[in-house]
Structure 1
Amino acid sequence: MYDYDQVTAFLGKWGPFQRLIFFLLSASIIPNGFNGLSAVFLAGTPEHRCRVPASANLSSEWLNNSIPLEERDGRQVLSRCRRYRLEALAHFSATNLEPGRDVNLSQVEQEKCLDGWEYSREPYLSTIVSEWDLVCDNDWKSPLTTSLFFVGVLFGSFISGQLSDKFGRKNVLFLTMGIQTGFGFLQIFSTSWEMFSILFLIVGMGQISNYVAAFVLGTEILGKSIRIVYCTLGVCIFYAFGYMLLPLCAYFIREWRMLLLALTVPGLLYIPLWWFIPESPRWLLAQGRVQEAEDIIRKAAEKNHVTAPDVIFDPIKVQDLNSQEQQTYSILDLVRTRNIRSITIMCVILWMVISIGYFGLSLDTPNLHGNVYINCFLSAVIEVPAYTISWLLLQYLPRRYSMAAVLFLGGCVLLFIQLVPTYLSVVSITLMMIGKFGITSSFSMVYVYTAELYPTVVRNMGVGASSMASRFGSILSPYFVYLGAYDRFLPYILMGSLTVLTGILTLFLPESYGAPLPDTIEQMLRVKGIKYRSASKSQRRLKYGEENSVILKNTSL
């Protein structure tokens, strides 16, 4: 068997070449952090109420009482979507009647905001919500905007792997970074919500494709020992750094078009990386471009100050490897037997719920008590220890119990939020951050755990199917946040309950820690709690007869 890692072992594990690739590819993930969650501020909903035009000719007293009160979060506040009928108020004002004393306001007819809305300038100067009045009857458009971004992520997941397999990891990486930056820049000139949303969808396609290309390129260039650190800490930590930059930029730039400009321009800084990041030698070998792959490894040897052998890749061995026929498997193999079918269903549920919890909590930070920018920054900072803890758990503890523990932690604290009095806002925010810590830890661990459960022959398809379920979860997550408009604690109750139930479900998955990776479906670890039938007598008899015939044949030879 042709072993790429063994052939390139002379480069060493952590030389200047590996360090350069590690940090440059990790840095390419930073824009994904602030672009992926930019809707938190771009689509933020400021306080608003119905506009009362000056042509209504109302006295100052009636103007101050033109908006009815409604109960929200246990408080009496001005209605966002209704006002008293202006014709009636103008009549009362003209006849010098006083509100509350001469007129019972509860009996005055109400109407919709026929003249638009007045928006608070705090904490946002403008958002797409205030730009295109995405409130009241149109408030469904705000979560749909974010969902369309994740629809783009879904489409990008479909095509990114195929594009990188056909055109190369490096080409797709820089192409999709250009798409993310270019179409993000075009969003600044949006003239309607529809135009903004369509462009946002395309940005989502570029965002995930860039992420996947960088992820694959790093795993294929770096050695085994560095590969694990890159996948768990490198990519994830730099994504969190990008996430931290989002509230910092939004704090100083509170107009959505200028904020979007500040978030897209840094993409131009990555153009020079084209001359520093090489193509994947593994991909070049798979394409039969042996000389190009060898040139890259020789340059890497020069950077690491080591001497490369005269012939690194034997063209004949590479050609023989690529010409070998491999048995093909289809998506149906993920549900063919009871065991793999159970694992597939459980992984799909697991990924979807984790994605709902992660993006739901990330998008809900503007609705928390306190400063929206500080809350968002804390939500980003908490991811750094979460990724670090998940890496340590993967190194030293069983997968099943580690996953269940962090899911139980995240889910239970979210359920406790509803028990905290409203005046203890700091406690509520702390519990929310602990919940985000648990769910983020599980998000980092589930990639490795899922890859270990599936056999080599269908591992890519298994992880891909689970990842697709995650995309559907991210599409649904804005609507969990949207439910908070009806009941402030409903999103936390739903996300907490689903997370706890998923933690219980995880306990039924097989334990993969310390076990060799399965190569075939028959070698897969068994799901707990399922009875597996032994082979029937006829099957055992047939197998016994086949073994005897093989023995007789061998002895006759």
Structure 2
Amino acid sequence: MRGFVDSIAFLGQWGRFQQVVFFLLCASIVPNGFGAFTLVFLTDIPSHHCLVPESNLTKDWRNNVIPVKVVNGKQELSSCSRYRLDVVRNLSAQGFIPGRDVNLTDLEQEGCVDGWSYSKDIYQSTIVSEFDLVCSEQWKQPFTSTVFFIGVLLGSFFSGQLSDKFGRKPVLFATMAVQTVFTFIQVFSTSWIMFTVLLFINGLGQISNFVAALVLGAEILTGHVRVIYSSMGSSLGFAIGYMLLPLFAYFLRDWRSLLLALSLPGLVYIPLWWLIPESPRWLLSQGKVEEAEAIMRKAAKWNKVQAPRVIFQDNDVDKTEIHTKQRLSAIDLYRTSSIRTTTLILGFISFTVTAGYYALSFNTPQLHADPYISCFISAAVEVPAYISSWLALRYLPRRLSVIVTLLLGAVPLYLIQLVPESLSNLSLALEMFGKYGFTTGAALMFAYTAELYPTVLRNTATGIYTTVSRLGSCVAPFLLKLRGYLLYLPYIILGTLAIMSAVAALFLPETLGRPLPETIQEMQKREDKVSMHLWKRNPSARVTLGQSTVII
């Protein structure tokens, strides 16, 4: 019996049909680059101090009504207090001069009872200045990002299962619509609570769109084209959006204008519904053979080739297996010992690479005083990382590639501790090299996960993988806070996690040069064959992990 790839071999790998699917799916991911890091600008905290209403104050008192504090060896105006205004007015009216007639340290202070004055040197407004998320309300600023990532986490979890049940294409366009519509509605937020609720819903579609597009392309495309799409094409679509973000933000300094501009590109994707097909692999897994053949016949016309009279008659996804496949769920990722081991290891690695990716991305503002340049540098690093992931998937074994990228992420973070303070540029270069390693690893893991699991569980598995990885993004900001206890502690933790993940990756099966599995039985056979092959080569190299024996 022939497999799916053999059944559609008559199409070739890079005809007009594959080109359209490839580039349109990559284009559909560009808005994800917008949305993933928009909060860098939306939640940035402008310089601020207590508002001083217009009053009869002398110039000297107006210049000194805000206390001066020493922060990190530098003098700065207090952000959350001022000298009692009624006292200052009285002293000003009596002609006292601050610093000469009055010792300012003896004056009583009060909070910003009249609000705050925000600097507009960089931003016209952010949600921080709009809703006064400072001083006693400052906890709302990081919590806003946390709420977004919780939405991303839940969206990743449920979208994968919905995609396996209802199809890749409906979920792809539904999640794109969620991003577009709720980004637009956020523009009209009248309170922080309203903004945060809408941001949570927006997060539900954020990475879910990326996962749906990744799996759809991986199941339609074949051979080297599938590899380049899964590793570099889809990721470069994300990177392009990421690099465009600081360009939009530079010209649109008001947060409402920025969100409005980022929501409009979603309208461009409406016509894609009639151009992007459903996954024929998924249709076959649901017993919809006629619909799958109709897509392939249309593809044959686009590629100007002759389709056989019967395309999928010999395909090894037959109707006797369909009812079993429809009952598969996330539980099946843990049902057998070997598959459970693979799932747990993938989860650990995904948590590590995502925590490293976001921690180093959030830490990039120190690269440059200008946040727009900082954001662009952070985004630009991803381009060579995604190209490297494609080259690795093209020429190197998957398992080896993942291990090497994890080590590339870990080693620079350990070396940073040895760099003298005078060589700050070298420290930043090492940090960006570490991000390069984690970014390459994250791209590899998306493609690797899609290759490990069968069609009926592929989107569920990718969704679970993404869900676990979102836990890493939620933890990342808190890891950076640990610098208050020990300057290099975040780097030590991330480096150690990466080393542990590299060791765990040794127990994963290899997928290089092997067709995508269609059923869970095929996945099981693949792992059993790999284990038996390694057992024969080195029967003494075995490790018991849980209830399964894993061969090194």
CA contact (8 A) 2:232 2:389 kept: no
SS of 2:49's equivalent in the other structure is strand
8 Å contact from structure 1 (residues 455, 523) kept in 2: no
Question: How far did 1:369 drift?
Answer: 3.5
Displacement after TM superposition at 1:465 (Å): 4.2
TM-score when scaled to structure 1? 0.84
Aligned to 1:359: 358
Change (3 A) 1:79 1:428: farther
1:382 to 1:261, Cα distance in 2 relative to 1, 3 A: same
**2:503 alignment partner, SS class:** coil
Q: State how far apart, in whole Å, the 1-side matches of 2:201 and 2:229 are.
A: 27
Report deviation, 1:96.
2.6
The aligned residue for residue 123 of structure 1 is 122
Name 2:95's counterpart in structure 1: 96
Contact 1:400/1:506 (<8 A) preserved:
no
Q: Is the 8 A contact 1:406 1:442 kept in 2?
A: no
Change (3 A) 1:416 1:192: farther
- The answer as to 2:498 corresponding to 1:503 is yes
Select the residue among 412, 426, 431 that pairs with 2:414.
412
- Partner of 1:270: helix, strand, or coil? helix
Give the structure 2 partner of residue 311 of structure 1: 310
TM-score, scaled to structure 2:
0.85
Contact 2:218/2:450 (8 A) holds in 1: no
SS, match of residue 29 in structure 1: helix
The Cα offsets for residues 191-231 of structure 1, whole Å up to 9 and x where unpaired, read as: 11111111111111122222122111111111133211111
Give 1:74 shift: 2.8
**Higher Cα Rg: structure 1 or 2?**
1
Tell me, yes or no, if the aligned pair for 2:81 and 2:110 is still in contact at 8 Å: yes
Aligned to 1:389: 388
- RMSD of equivalent CA atoms: 3.4
Could you tell which deviates more after superposition, 164-173 or 345-354?
345-354
Distance in 2, matches of 1:471 and 1:245, equals: 23
In structure 1, what is the equivalent of residue 171 of structure 2?
Answer: 172
Superposition map of 1:76-115 within 5 A: 76-115=75-114
Tell me the SS of whatever aligns to 1:54: coil
C-alpha change, 1:469 and 1:433, in structure 2 (3 Å) is same
SS in 1 for 2:44: coil
C-alpha contact 1:10 1:306 (8 A) present in aligned 2: yes
Q: What's 2:432 paired with?
A: 433
C-alpha distance in structure 1 between counterparts of 2:490 and 2:389, whole Å? 21
- Deviations 1:475-496, CA, capped at 9 Å, x for gaps: 2334445x39x95x97x73431
Q: State the one-letter code of the partner of 2:182.
A: F
Q: Is the contact between residue 410 and residue 438 of structure 1 (CA under 8 Å) also seen in structure 2?
A: no
Moved more, 198-207 or 397-406: 397-406
Q: Where do residues 27-42 of structure 1 align in structure 2 (5 Å cutoff)?
A: 27-42=27-42
Residues 32-431 of structure 1 mapped to structure 2, 5 A cutoff = 32-55=32-55, 57-314=56-313, 319-323=318-322, 325=324, 331=331, 334=334, 347-366=346-365, 368-394=367-393, 395-396=395-396, 398-399=400-401, 401-412=403-414, 415=417, 419-421=420-422, 427=426, 429-431=428-430
8 Å Cα contact 1:410/1:436 also seen in 2: no
The whole-number CA distance in structure 1 between the counterparts of 2:286 and 2:314 is 12
What is the letter of the counterpart of residue 175 of structure 1? Answer: A
Paired residue for 1:468? 467
AA in 2 matched with 1:444: A
One-letter amino acid matched to 1:500: G
- Identify if the C-alpha distance between structure 1 residues 5 and 343 changes in structure 2 by more than 3 Å, giving closer, same or farther: closer
**Where does 1:513-552 land on structure 2 (aligned, <5 Å)?**
519=524, 532=544
Measure the CA separation in 2 of the matches of 1:440 and 1:123.
Answer: 29
SS in 1 for 2:311: coil
The DSSP-based 3-state class of the residue aligned with 1:122 is: coil
Q: 1:256: how far off?
A: 0.8
- Match of 1:49, SS? strand
User: C-alpha distance in 1, partners of 2:256/2:339?
Assistant: 48
**What is the DSSP-based 3-state SS (H/G/I as helix, E as strand, rest coil) of the residue aligned with 1:96?**
coil
Deviation, 1:513, is 7.8
Structure 1 residues 282, 449: CA separation in 2 closer, same or farther (over 3 Å shift)?
A: closer
The answer to whether the 8 Å contact 1:185/1:260 transfers is yes
Q: Could you list the per-position Cα deviations for residues 105-129 of structure 1 after superposition, in whole angstroms to 9, with x for gaps in the alignment?
A: 2232222211111101021111111
Aligned length: 525
Counterpart of 2:117 in 1: which secondary structure?
A: strand
Distance 2:74 2:427 in 1: 18
Q: Deviations over 1:307-329 (max 9, x none)?
A: 11111123997653544646968
User: Following superposition of structure 1 onto structure 2, how do residues 444-455 of structure 1 map, counting pairs within 5 Å?
Assistant: 444-448=443-447
- Structure 1 residue 399 displacement after superposition: 3.3
Residue identity opposite 1:244 in structure 2: M
Q: Deviations over 1:158-182 (max 9, x none)?
A: 2212222232222221222111101
* Contact 1:124–1:255, Cα closer than 8 Å, also in 2: yes
CA distance in 2, matches of 1:473, 1:282: 31
Instruction: Confirm or deny: 8 A CA contact 2:354 2:469 kept in the other structure.
Output: yes
Task: Tell me, yes or no, if the aligned pair for 1:403 and 1:506 is still in contact at 8 Å.
Answer: no
Correspondence list, 1:1-12, <5 A: 1=1, 3-12=3-12
**Cα offsets for 1:432-457 (capped at 9, x unmatched):** 43332222122223335566788999
Give CA deviations for 1:356-380 in whole Å, capped at 9, x if unaligned.
2222333344454321111111111
User: Offset of 1:458 from its aligned partner?
Assistant: 8.2
Q: Which amino acid aligns with 1:314?
A: Q
Name the CA distance, whole Å, in 1 between partners of 2:319 and 2:96. 95
Task: Pick closer, same or farther for the CA change 1:272–1:342 going to 2, 3 Å.
Answer: closer
Q: Contact 1:247–1:376 at 8 Å: present in 2 too?
A: yes
Question: Would the aligned equivalents of 2:333 and 2:461 in 1 still touch at CA under 8 Å?
Answer: no
Q: Distance in 1 between matches of 2:288 and 2:543?
A: 50
CA distance in 1 between partners of 2:344 and 2:389 (Å): 23
Partner of 2:440, secondary structure, is helix
Report if aligned partners of 2:280, 2:292 keep a CA contact under 8 Å in 1.
yes
Does structure 2 conserve the Cα–Cα contact (< 8 Å) formed by 1:129 and 1:142? yes
Distance 1:446 1:42, change over 3 A: same
Residues 256-265 or 321-330, more deviating: 321-330
Structure 1 partner of 2:537: none
Cα shift at 1:335: 9.0
Greater displacement, 123-132 / 281-290? 281-290
Equivalent residues of 1:404, 1:504 under 8 A apart? yes
Unaligned stretches of 5+ residues in structure 1: 536-557
Contact kept, 8 Å, 1:290 with 1:315, in 2: the verdict is no
Once the two structures are superposed, what CA deviation does each residue of 1:46-80 show, in whole Å capped at 9, x if it has no partner? 1111111224x332112211122223233121111
Would you say the 8 A contact 1:28–1:270 is kept in 2? yes
Equivalent residue letter for 1:18: Q
How many percent of aligned residue pairs carry the same amino acid? 47
